[in-house]
Structure 1
Amino acid sequence: MERKKRSTAAKAEILEKEIAPIGKVRFVSSATARFVRISIRPGQGVKVTMPKRATLAQAEAFVQEKTAWIQKHLSNLEKNQPKPFLFTPEDPFKTRYHQLHLQAHPLLQLKSKLKDGQLQVHYPAHLSWDHPEVQTYVKSAVEQTLRLEAKRYLPERVAFWANQFNFSYQKVVIKNAQTRWGSCSSTNNINLNLHLMRLPQHLCDYVILHELAHTVEKNHGPHFWALLDKISGDAKGLDKELKNYRLQQF
C-alpha cells in the first residue's frame, strides 16, 4: 500500500496544462530547482521546472509574463525543423542493393516485393503516393529491406576487417537504433545500425572499424584515436564526413 502512495505522489509531480496563447505546457516540480525555469526543446515543447516551494499559480504567472519570449522561440524552433521526408516516384530512394520503385495499381491493398534489384511498392490508385498510409507502408518496406541487406552484408564485413587487423569480438547484432551508427558492448558484441546500408561503403567500413577498435580501447581517448587512425587511414576526416549523413533520414 505504501508503494502505491509513493507512486501516485511521483506522478503528481508532472502536470500538463493548456496555456493560451501558447498551447500545451508541462509543469515539472523539482526538489533541486532553486527558481522557476522555462525550457523549449524539439519534440518536447514547453517545459516549466519549478522548485517545491513554488505554487502552480506562480509558475503559470511566470509563463504568462514570458509569453512573447516563448512564442518567439517556438516559432524559431518550427522554422528550423527539418521537413518531413517523403518517398517519391521522381526521386527514387536507394539502399546498397535495391532501388525503390513506387507504382499505383487497381487493387485496394498495398503490396511490396524485391525483384531484380528493385523494391517494388504498389499502392491503390485511389490514394496518392504522398498519402500518409502509403508513406508509412513504404517506410516499413524500406526498413525491412535495409535489415535484410544488413544481415547478409554486415557480419561478413566485420569478420573481414577483424581478420585483417586481428581483432576479436563475440557476435554482430543488427539494430534500428535512433542515435548511433554502431556500438561495442563491454563483452565485445558489435551492434550495427541497419541504416549503415544507406552509407557509401568507405563510411560503412569506417563505422565497423570504429567499433572493432572499441574491442581494444573502450573509451574515446588518445589511444583509441591513434589505433583507429592507423587502421582506417584518416579517422578524424572520416568521422567528420560521417556527420554529413543523418542517421534518421525518414
Structure 2
Amino acid sequence: MESKKRAAAPKQGVLEKEIENIGKVQFVPSATAKYVRISIRPGQGVKVTLPKRASLAQAEAFVQEKAAWIRKHLHSQQQEQGKKTVFTPETEFRTRFHQLLLLPHPLPQCKSRLKDGVLYVWYPEQISYEHSDIQDYIVKAIEYTLRLEAKQYLPQRVAQFARQFGFSYQQVTIKNAKTRWGSCSATNNINLNLHLMRLPAHLCDYVILHELAHTVEKNHGPRFWALLDQISGDARGLDKQLKAYRLHIY
C-alpha cells in the first residue's frame, strides 16, 4: 500500500479565504450554531463556524479581533507538529504488543506484516525512508496495528474493571479520534481511542476508569473526581501525567 496525499476539496457551502498574517481560514455555515466560533485543530487549520444570522463580514471582523490568539495557537500547534517522530531503521518504537522494525527492500512499494510481536515495514531501497509517502505508510501501518491490539485488549479490560468496581455500560467502540482518549455517551456507550495502546499501562487503565466513572457521574464535578480518585488511587495525579502525551504525536 502506498499513500499519496491529495488536497481535499472544500465542503459544499464552505468558503476558504486567505487572511493576512494568519493564512487559510475556512468559513463554515451552520444551521444550529448560535455564535460565531473559531476552532483550530491539528492538520485542519482555522475553522470559523457561522450561524445563520452572521454575515461573512462579521465573521472576518471577529477573526481579525482574535488574530493574536489565533497566531499563538497556530504557532503552538506547529511546535507540536515539529515533535513528530521521523521513523528510521534505528527508531526504537513499540506499541503495547509489537516492536516496529523498518527495513529496505528492492520492491517499488511499501509493505508490512505482523509476526511474533514485530511490526515489519519494508520500504523501497531507492527512496529515502524520510520521504513523506514512506512516513505516511509507516504511520498507517502503526495505526492498523494499534487498532488490532485495541480491539483485542480494551473491551476485556473495560469488562474487568466494570466487574471489579460494579459499573454498568452498554458497549465499547474503538475509534481513531483526533482530540479525545475516550468518551462516555449519555446511554453509557464507551468510546476508546486506539492510541491508548501507546500509553503506559497505568495511564491506559486510568482512561478506562475515567470513562467508567462517567457511567455514574456525567460531568466533571466534585463527585466525579471523588469517585475516580477512589477507584484509580490518584485521579488528579494520573490526569496530570496523561496531559504529557499527545494523541497524534508519536
Partner residue of 1:159?
159
- 1:107 aligned partner, one-letter code: L
Q: Please tell me whether the aligned partners of residues 149 and 197 of structure 1 are also in contact (alpha carbons under 8 angstroms).
A: yes
Letter in 1 for 2:164: Q
- Cα distance per residue 1:159-208 (max 9 Å; x no partner): 11111111111111111111111111111111111100001111111111
1-structure distance, mates of 2:235, 2:72: 38
Equivalences for residues 47-86 of structure 1 within 5 A: 52=55, 77-78=74-75, 81=78, 82=80, 83=82, 84-86=84-86
- How far apart are the structure 2 equivalents of 1:204 and 1:225? 17
| Bigger radius of gyration | 1
**What does residue 107 of structure 2 align with?**
107
User: C-alpha separation between the residues in 2 aligned to 1:131 and 1:173?
Assistant: 33
Contact 1:100 1:118 in 2 (8 A): yes
Q: How far apart are the structure 1 equivalents of 2:21 and 2:208?
A: 49
Q: TM-score, normalised by structure 1?
A: 0.75
Q: Would you say the 8 A contact 1:101–1:120 is kept in 2?
A: yes
1:44 is matched with 45
Taking a change above 3 Å as real, the CA distance of residues 101 and 27 of structure 1, as seen in their structure-2 partners, is: closer
Corresponding residue pairs, total? 229
| Residue pair 2:28, 2:47 contacting (<8 A) in 1 also | no
Q: Is the 8 A contact 1:225 1:235 kept in 2?
A: yes
Gaps in structure 2 of 5+ consecutive residues: 1-11
Q: Which amino acid aligns with 1:246?
A: R
2:236 is matched with: 236
Q: Which structure's relative contact order is higher, taking Cα pairs within 8 Å and 6+ residues apart?
A: 2
CA distance in 1, matches of 2:190, 2:167: 12
Hey, what's the Cα distance between the residues in 2 that align with 1:247 and 1:23? 25
**TM-aligned CA deviation for residue 18 of structure 1:** 5.0
Residues 221 and 53 from structure 1, CA distance in 2 versus in 1: closer, same or farther, beyond 3 angstroms?
closer
Equivalent positions of 1:1-250 (< 5 A) are: 11=13, 15-17=15-17, 24=24, 43-44=44-45, 52=55, 77-78=74-75, 81=78, 82=80, 83=82, 84-249=84-249
- Structure 1 position 45, deviation (Å): 5.1
Identity %: 60
CA contact (8 A) 1:24 1:46 kept: no
SS in 2 for 1:208: helix
Amino acid at match of 2:187: T
Q: TM-score scaled by structure 2?
A: 0.75
Cα pair distance change 1:132/1:167, threshold 3 Å: same
**Structure 1: where are the runs of 5+ without partners?**
1-9
- Compared CA separation, residues 190 and 80, structure 1 to 2 (3 A): closer
CA distance in 1, matches of 2:115, 2:183: 32
Shift of 1:15: 5.0
Work out the CA distance in 2 between the residues paired with 1:28 and 1:151: 35
Give, as a single letter, the amino acid of the residue that structure 2 aligns with 1:135.
Q
